[in-house]
Structure 1
Amino acid sequence: MLVRAANLAPGRRLSGWLRRQADVRLHRHEALHSVTFTLRRGEALGIIGHNGSGKSTLLQIVAGVLQPTAGTVRAGGRIAALLELGSGFNPELTGRENVRVNAAILGLDPAQIRDRMEAILAFADIGDFVDEPVKTYSSGMALRLAFAVQVHTDPDILIVDEALAVGDAAFQAKAMARIDEILARGTTLLFVGHDLSAVKAFCHRAMLLERGRIVMEGLPEEVVTEYLHRTHVQVLAKQQDDRAGKVRLVEGGYGLETACVVEASLNEGVQHVAMQYGGVLTVRLKLRLGAEVGHPGVILDVMDNRGLQLTGKRIRLAPADGFVQVDVQFKAIFQYGVYRIRTRVIDAPSIERTTVLSRQEGRLSFEIVDDSRERFTGVFPVEMEVAVTPLPREGAEGGAILSSPQV
């Protein structure tokens, strides 16, 4: 994609000679370079990269918002593009009227719009404002309404550019659940986001863009690791940390060869273990530490199958020059499912001055095989005091109090 910009004073009348001189000073910037990929029906591709790498430009071209200066795009089926949400709304029209207009643009006929109107408005959940002009909306309200329209069009291809960050936490959870439903119907997904956990959760494969070029394509776990590796090197370089040039890919991640986990195992030396709820899990780590790590430590994190960090332990270590063994033991009081262990070796003079020297995951995992929903809901239990008070039919005060701790 080529973008041209000229630094010309507005309103100035230029002679033909001056115009020719201005043309010489035009800046030519290629946002994308020879980007080629194929996405088949039902597949989900995640695109990651730093700001300015060309991610949003690529999605806009696929969605038809921008025209490429070279190359072609072929897409079959109805496309729902969650790009700059709300940018197509008419501020003078009400929310309901904008829903009708946008749904029609996206290919729904009048009968389909009528049938889906209440579902769209319920999903957006903006109350009576739906019948007020959009110019009176907050930015979050407009984004919620725009998102609701897009995800109710039954798209064949769903394009998402950071749209899962709309609204509050409750709406984000609802948005992710809705995308899960769309993907379950066989919709093709093209996803851009800085939420690497979402990339791992939704996508079958991933692509890393850097300065408009594809530098890596493969499984999400591998591509995310490479992205974090490059990011970590850049962060250390900006901090003028001379260890930036020593960061390498190591087993299960990236880091310094003199500050990483060289061996890791669970109970009885295995990489994966299936266990009952409440069973004891022992994690054994063998670390290599160099003498240059002045304040070493290791952080052990428990992640769910989408890469969300659930809990963890920060462990301080004494300076060493050689190998150190760390054993961590805890009860696996998690809900039914598969969980992963992530390790980060750090140099931490204090909490505020913590430098991650290596980050490794994917080698260790454990599985809770029995369903604990009769004990608690969610991921893991929290101590709760429960008081149950029987009341008379008319709601009068009185009655015994039954109290018991439950988890």
Structure 2
Amino acid sequence: MGKVTVKGLGKAYKSYNGRWARLAEWLIPFAKPRHQLHWVLQGIDFELEAGEAVGIVGINGAGKSTLLKLIAGTTQCTVGTIDIRGRVAALLELGMGFHPDFTGRQNAIMAGQLQGLRGDEIASLMPAIEAFAEIGEYIDQPVRTYSSGMQMRLAFSVATASRPDVLIVDEALSVGDAYFQHKSFERIREFRRSGTTLLIVSHDRYAIQTICDRAILLNRGRLEMQGDPVEVMDFYNAMLAEREQQTVRQERLEDGRLRTISGTGEASIVSVNLLDDEGKKLDVIEVGAYATLEIRVAINVAIPRLVMGYMIKDKLGQSIFGINTHRLEMPQTDLVADEELVYRCRFPVNLGKGSYSVAISLSRLDSHLDTNYEWRDYSVIFHVINTQHPDFVGCAFLDAEMAVERSYGYARKIEVTA
């Protein structure tokens, strides 16, 4: 079983003022250093238990790929230690380690050898590699003739042909088509069920939240936060929207969930309530019943344009439905300080049984990434029950009608509808 322990990890690169400074340092080894250290990672500490799945997120340049390379052993750390137990398979940069003039088959054999597989093991796995990659006759063509998607198919097939103890996956999967992405993530889930330890870098919120037990947020080379994937991704999304004078804070709710609030504060959310048609607050609602989401907003300083949006999420943090006043062509313009707006959004709760939350966004345009006045997760939490409809599965209630037609030879026909 794979286990990974990282302690005090740091990685720095030497930066010289010019090529002559580098040459002088080589020629005069005992003189004072002529370089400066540029740290890309510092003070990284975490553990991956056997069978655990951990996602790593962060903006570009945060050090995610460098961290994976250090753990995979393709780059050496400057300080700290990495202890890995078990066989490691890594899918890092697209086509990393592939020779463009060799065929896919030849590259697969070399990649298998680099993973520590014997020749007979690679030969026995080759049919499975070909079948999973689904690149047909291209397996015997030079890799330089491959598209980026074909390279990714072959690289992933080779890396996962034999179940590793530790699987490391960078963003390479993002270049594949939707069919192969689903196929790849299903293989990852199978490995997880079999006990493989997973370390994955992805900007896909739903991949992180559905596959991973824990998430790690890197910021400027340091570990900013780690914990529940939903809470970490909420904080990460708030960081993406960060602008000058914008605040990002988190507060613990009564049920233990961590709410993330961010924004410039030029407009702010006063209250959010889910109401029935009589104006009473709802915590529990029947499948298919109507509810009204009421949002009160205060304008603190004059702003030229305001867009309010809401997003309904399930208990895993996956988006179920979202809409805003920009897409409805209802933005409010030329707002002045001390104004108050009340939004009322009425909709049928055609959702499956379970717990849901509502996130609210106040922004200037369609996305809260452009002038985020306020973003608030877990503004409302409600539960959906089903006592009046047939018991169904899934996250959406379609109230479908069904007809059954039965025939006896060519003489009689009976039709039953429900």
**TM-score (norm: length of structure 1):** 0.77
Give, as a single letter, the amino acid of the residue that structure 2 aligns with 1:214: L
- In the alignment, is the contact (CA less than 8 A) between 2:72 and 2:168 conserved in 1? yes
Q: Deviations over 1:385-407 (max 9, x none)?
A: x9xxxxxxxxxxxxxxxxxxx9x
Tell me which residue corresponds to 1:284.
294
Stretch of structure 1 that moved more, 304-313 or 166-175: 304-313
**Structure-2 change in CA distance of 1:82 and 1:20 (3 Å):** same
RMSD, aligned CA:
4.4
Is the Cα contact below 8 Å between 1:277 and 1:333 reproduced in 2?
Answer: yes
State how far apart, in whole Å, the 2-side matches of 1:219 and 1:266 are.
26
What TM-score do the two structures reach when normalised by structure 2? Answer: 0.75
| Matches for 1:4-403 after TM superposition, within 5 Å | 4-6=14-16, 7-8=18-19, 19-20=27-28, 24-110=33-119, 112-233=121-242, 236=243, 244-249=244-249, 252=259, 253-267=261-275, 268-270=280-282, 273=284, 275=285, 277-315=287-325, 316=330, 318=332, 319=335, 321=338, 323-334=340-351, 339-348=356-365, 355-366=371-382, 380=396
Q: Is the 8 A contact 1:205 1:220 kept in 2?
A: yes
Shift of residue 152, structure 1, vs aligned partner: 2.9
Question: 1:61 deviation in Å?
Answer: 0.9
Gaps of 5+ in 2: 1-10, 252-258, 403-417
Mark the CA change 1:260 to 1:115 in structure 2 (over 3 Å): closer, same or farther: farther
Task: Describe the shift of the 1:232–1:76 C-alpha distance in structure 2 as closer, same or farther (beyond 3 A).
Answer: same
Q: Quote how far apart the aligned CAs of 1:367 are.
A: 5.3
Pairwise CA distance, 1:364:
3.1
Which residue identity does 2:302 align to in structure 1?
A: E
Give the deviation of 1:5 after TM superposition: 4.8
Unaligned runs of 5+ in 1: 237-243, 387-405
The CA distance in 1 between the partners of 2:393 and 2:372, in whole Å, is 34
SS in 2 for 1:46: strand
- Corresponding letter in the other structure for 2:308: V
Q: In the TM superposition, what is the alpha-carbon distance from 1:339 to its structure 2 partner?
A: 4.3
* Offset at residue 378 of structure 1 (A): 7.6
One-letter code of the match for 1:269? K
Is the strand fraction higher in 1 or 2? 2
CA distance in 1, matches of 2:202, 2:217: 11
User: Contact conserved, 1:40 with 1:188, CA < 8 A, in 2?
Assistant: yes
Following the alignment from structure 1 to structure 2, what is the Cα–Cα distance between the partners of residues 230 and 18? 42
The separation in 1 between residues aligned to 2:396 and 2:14, in whole angstroms, is: 54
Q: How far has the Cα of 1:173 moved from its partner?
A: 2.2
Structure 1 residues 116 and 287: CA distance shift in structure 2, 3 A = farther
| 1:92–1:135 contact (8 Å) kept in structure 2 | yes
Letter of the structure 2 residue corresponding to residue 357 of structure 1 = Y
CA 1:265–1:152 in 2, change beyond 3 Å: closer, same or farther? farther
SS where residue 47 of structure 2 aligns? coil
Deviation track 1:340-384 (CA, whole Å, cap 9, x = no partner) reads 322111234x8999633111223434555569xx99998658899
Instruction: Give the superposition deviation at 1:145.
Output: 0.8
Specify the SS of the correspondent of 1:155.
coil
**AA at the equivalent of 1:76:** R
Residue 13 of structure 2 corresponds to residue 3 of structure 1: yes
Contact kept in structure 2, 1:250 and 1:257, CA below 8 Å: no
**Alignment-mate amino acid for residue 300 of structure 1:** Y
% identical equivalent positions: 35
